[in-house]
Amino acid sequence: MIYLDNAASTHPKPVEVYRAVLQQLRENGANPGRSGHDLSMQASETVFLARQLMGMLFGASEQNIIFTKNTTEAINLALRGLLKRGDHVLVSDLEHNSVLRPLVSMKSEGIEFDIVKTSAKDKETVEHFIEALRPNTRLILCTHASNVTGQILPIRNIGHICRANNILFGVDGAQTAGIEKYNLSHDPVDFLCVPGHKGLLAPQGTGALILGKQIEMKSLILGGTGTDSLLWSQPLEFPEGYESGTLNTPGIAGLAEGVRFILRYGDTIRAHEKKLRQLFLHKISEVSGFYPIGEGEDFVGTISVVHESDHSETIAQWLNQHGICARGGYHCAALAHKKLGTEDLGALRISFGYRNTEYDVVECVKILNKYQNNRVRS
């Protein structure tokens, strides 16, 4: 089996991640941050270690890392926590449905948004954001990299515009956390939404909303925080005030090890995945009937191709029958597929991970070539 669906969830994970999850499950099932006994305190230490390591990787303070179950929850928390009636939001035309759908739903609450056209050229993308600003623009939320084409957007340049105009800037790091570098102490980014289970190589059910500085914000989930238990109202202390309910401690133990792995090997992984993308791009150009989509100045290790006439799900099925896991369809990205003109056939997405090899690329292209040859013959 060749796994090329790392943009959806990375697989496999480093062995240290499996070990940490299992160890936490077997040796300490206590609830972190709730009791004063030794096991609960040790569980709290596990969670705090993960916050420290995340803080090192993203240049953020431990208390500014709010654990969520995925990027989507982090985005929802930020949007619903920060926005109020009358606010205007700008997003790119490459956003995931995790950005689009909450904003569409919030229209009925008096929150407006506009979709900004991105370009292959970073400078043009930035200019489009400037042109779309309104006096009531409160937030720009932008993906760092498209989950369809892998194109990296110029988030720091967009962030500087936000700083200059006193606008909040949020980044969807679903495809870049663990891949691209961040330092929220210096970057012009107010918040970053990240998954644990993708580039950070952690288990599913982990993610975070990471703040550069604490911002006044409502909480999405209200309940137990382990503090001020006699109060009837939610204590909005960072981070626990935004993490009500028992945390996914085994997952977070795995997240700590995934982040530790990235701190050690992240640079190598980034270069490796980009190299595989380049190789795929080169090899697929030799196969008739398939065309890569998306342009840009820089990319993560994700690429999508369309077939001249067949639906992407058919081709993904073909790959699956030949032992290759890749994703067809629309990738929960209505905006991106509208922009790319792929709403009819969707796109076949190939996304590389740290364990993929050049052999995987060659094998995948070979199977795609076989598909085309069979099709031509029949």
Instruction: By CB under 8 A, name the binding residues for other proteins.
Output: 32-33, 35-36, 41, 44-45, 48, 51-52, 61-63, 225-231, 237-241
Question: In whole angstroms, how close is the CB of 347 to other proteins at the nearest point?
Answer: 42
Question: In whole angstroms, how close is the CB of 222 to other proteins at the nearest point?
Answer: 16
- CB-wise, 228 or 295, nearer to other proteins? 228
- CB-wise, 24 or 176, nearer to other proteins? 24
Do residues 132 and 162 touch, judged by C-beta distance below 8 A?
A: no
Pick left, alpha or beta for residue 86 (phi over 0 → left; psi -120 to 50 → alpha; otherwise beta). Answer: left
Question: In whole angstroms, how close is the CB of 221 to other proteins at the nearest point?
Answer: 16
Question: In whole angstroms, how close is the CB of 289 to other proteins at the nearest point?
Answer: 54
- CB-wise, 174 or 210, nearer to other proteins? 210
- CB-wise, 48 or 291, nearer to other proteins? 48
Residue 311 amino acid letter: H
- CB-wise, 102 or 241, nearer to other proteins? 241
Distance, in Å, from the CA atom of 347 to the CA atom of 340, rounded to the nearest integer, reads 10
345 by DSSP, 3-state: which?
Answer: coil
Question: In whole angstroms, how close is the CB of 48 to other proteins at the nearest point?
Answer: 4
Cβ density class 153-187: b for 16+ within 10 Å, e for less: bbbbebbebbeeeebbbbbbbbbbbbbbebebeeb
Question: In whole angstroms, how close is the CB of 230 to other proteins at the nearest point?
Answer: 3
Distance, in Å, from the CA atom of 228 to the CA atom of 132, rounded to the nearest integer, reads 44
- CB-wise, 224 or 292, nearer to other proteins? 224
Strand 137-143 and strand 168-172: the pairing is: parallel
Do residues 24 and 261 touch, judged by C-beta distance below 8 A?
A: no
Distance, in Å, from the CA atom of 337 to the CA atom of 335, rounded to the nearest integer, reads 6
Q: How far is CA 312 from CA 280, 328, 334, in A?
A: 17, 5, 15
